[in-house]
């Protein structure tokens, strides 16, 4: 089935793999973009086609107005992803803010009778039923105070956040994504009949091991927890270990040389 180009603005595919047996949709952290998963597209086995999600208001979609409310984001995203999940078996991977999006997309698919993922990978994301109260709002703050709160909450190095590049290119997307997070409200539903893999970091100030482990209560299927070295942004430093875990949990042959 040929998908109209507008869908490809949301669901990117930097390295198409026509012979792939599974698609892995990847959801970035707040302020991020699809390029975070650039190396994933070639380092995972050839049987996996990696499809990073690109939200409006950043990178290739910088000219588009960002979305700042979670219900709107979920409805638009689900509509754009739906044609792709009907084509091949698929899994969802989300890091931090992206974990919320991946989890709620899986629940949206269940509510609407869509195909379900073969596995859900939730990284640096606390089990959402433990945090039913929204986080303290920070997006109303002036830039300097806002970035200071981001550094404190997520352990992001302050020298990174104060760079001109961050202020010019990342700050608008970061504000938009954290606005989405502030508007999110968890609603209880039955556990998913989808295996869940939870990944956490031992020095993460935002997500404890107990909060990462509590995802087991959101599935009636298989559950696994892996804790990695590092802080909230272990996604890059532990990339190869993450790949190994994903391959193991999807029960795929390992990538050559990896």
Q: Is 96 left (phi over 0), alpha (psi -120 to 50) or beta?
A: left
φ, ψ of residue 246 to 5 degrees: the values are: -65, -45
Which one of the listed residues 21, 35, 47, 96 is annotated catalytic?
A: 96
Read off the tokens for 28: 């970035």
Read off the tokens for 134: 């929204």
Read off the tokens for 8: 């490809």
Q: Count other C-beta atoms under 10 Å from residue 67's C-beta.
A: 21
Assess contact for 43 and 243: CB atoms under 8 A.
yes
- State how far the Cα of 63 lies from the Cα of 48, in Å rounded to an integer: 31
47 flagged as catalytic: no
Q: Which residues are catalytic?
A: 96
């Amino acid at each position: 089935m040929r998908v109209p180009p507008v869908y490809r603005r949301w669901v990117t595919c930097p390295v198409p793999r026509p012979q792939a047996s599974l698609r892995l949709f990847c959801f970035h952290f707040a302020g991020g973009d699809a390029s975070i998963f650039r190396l994933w597209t070639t380092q995972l086995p050839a049987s996996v086609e990696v499809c990073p999600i690109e939200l409006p208001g950043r990178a290739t979609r910088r000219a588009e107005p960002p979305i700042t409310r979670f219900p709107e984001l979920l409805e638009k995203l689900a509509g754009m992803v739906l044609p792709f999940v009907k084509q091949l078996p698929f899994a969802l991977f989300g890091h931090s803010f992206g974990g919320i999006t991946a989890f709620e997309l899986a629940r949206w698919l269940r509510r609407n009778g869509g195909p379900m993922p073969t596995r859900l990978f939730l990284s640096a994301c606390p089990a959402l039923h433990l945090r039913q109260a929204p986080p303290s709002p920070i997006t109303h703050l002036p830039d300097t105070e806002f970035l200071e709160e981001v550094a404190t909450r997520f352990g992001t190095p302050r020298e990174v956040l104060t760079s001109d590049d961050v202020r010019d290119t990342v700050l608008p997307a970061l504000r938009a994504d954290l606005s989405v997070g502030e508007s999110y409200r968890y609603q209880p539903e039955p556990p998913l009949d989808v295996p869940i893999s939870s990944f956490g970091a031992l020095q993460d100030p935002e997500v404890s091991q107990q909060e990462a482990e509590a995802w087991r209560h959101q599935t009636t299927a298989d559950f696994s927890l892996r804790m990695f070295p590092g802080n909230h942004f272990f996604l890059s430093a532990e990339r190869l270990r993450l790949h190994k875990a994903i391959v193991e949990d999807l029960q795929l042959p390992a990538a050559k040389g990896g």
